[in-house]
Amino acid sequence: MSTLQRCAALLLCAGATCVHAAENTDKWAFNIGAMYEIENVEGQGEDKDGLYEPSVWFNATYDAWTISMAMYQEGPVDYSSMTRGTYFDRPELELRYRFIGTDDFTFGLTGGFRNYSYHFKDEHGAKDGTANMQRYKIQPDWDLKLSDDWRFSGWFAMYQFANDLEKTGYSDSRVETETGFTWTINETFSAKANYYLERGFNMDGSRNNGEFSTQEIRAYLPISLGNTTLTPYTRIGLDRWSNWDWQDDPEREGHDFNRLGMLYAYDFTNGLSMTLEYAYEWQNHDEGKNDRFHYAGVGVNYAF
């Protein structure tokens, strides 16, 4: 999930303050925030697999228009054969227009641009070149009221990658989507079940690097307790494969995976909100050792 999508999740989970600001369409509404995320593999001291991702963002909404800007960092990641890392130098810009915005149906369209900067290191930790890659995005999103208790919502992103793909290992195209149903049980409890897909592929038939597929069922159980929202969730893996090691092994590697997590959100009712999140994920690989991941994140947002 992109930084701005995580930002959107923060705003939705943190309570009514940000929502009310966005609904006031006769003036500008702003959000500014920051998030810090880490994901580490158990026993990472041996192979250094893991990531950290600090990010900052600024969103501005006026009537049907929303402009979103973010800056973030991701790294380091050591995949044994190469190390990828960055500085705090990855900008992202998105512009969304809401074509329809009623209680019964909302439909929007987002266009976006992200720049990826990489600073490679060799096995000895010495500098080993750089790469600069761009990603372009088109993403429709929707929210449909089916009844007083049921809604159908989601988004579908289409990405195109350009420049330095042989260095970064990315495929040239990707699609990503999460969509499903929400059941509002009462003022305290609701339940959401979504289908998630992320698929990397190459439009250029002469290339096969960086292709992958991930399919999941994602289930959430938001519990609203005044200013606090607790959201236990799970990700149930349906299918995952990748060929990121295409340089040494062009065959696809399969993965079996599942995740359990908890998101805590608090709304201070003065425009300020914050989140804390922890998740545990286990992966079983067709090749090599199995992995156990620990994810943690903390975020803060101010709406004005």
DSSP of 60-113: EEETTEEEEEEEE--B-EE-SS-EE---S-EEEEEEEEEEEE-SSEEEEEEEEE
| Helix or strand holding residue 259 (H, E) | strand 253-267
Confidence of residue 198 (pLDDT cuts 50, 70, 90): very high
Task: Report the domain count for the chain.
Answer: 1
Yes or no: say if 71 and 54 are a contact pair by the CB < 8 Å rule. no
Q: What is the pLDDT of residue 72?
A: 87
Please give the torsion angle defined by the CA atoms of residues 126, 127, 128 and 129, in that order, rounded to the nearest 10 degrees: 180
Q: What does pTM read for this prediction?
A: 0.85
d(CA 296, CA 36): 8
pLDDT at 80 over 80: no
pLDDT mean over 38-52: 66
> Which tops the pLDDT comparison, 255 or 177?
177
d(CA 167, CA 173): 16
pLDDT mean over 289-304: 90
Query: What domain range is 298 assigned to?
Result: 3-303
Confidence of residue 106 (pLDDT cuts 50, 70, 90): very high
pLDDT at 14 over 50: no
Q: What is the pLDDT of residue 88?
A: 67
What are 27-39's pLDDT values in tens digits? 999 999 999 998 8
pLDDT mean over 21-25: 49
What are 226-271's pLDDT values in tens digits? 999 999 999 999 988 887 654 445 566 677 889 999 999 999 999 9
Mean pLDDT of the chain: 84
What are 111-134's pLDDT values in tens digits? 999 998 887 777 776 777 888 999
pLDDT mean over 6-21: 45
Q: What is the pLDDT of residue 22?
A: 44
Confidence of residue 4 (pLDDT cuts 50, 70, 90): very low
CATH code of the domain covering residue 254: 2.40.160.40
pLDDT at 99 over 90: yes
d(CA 10, CA 16): 12
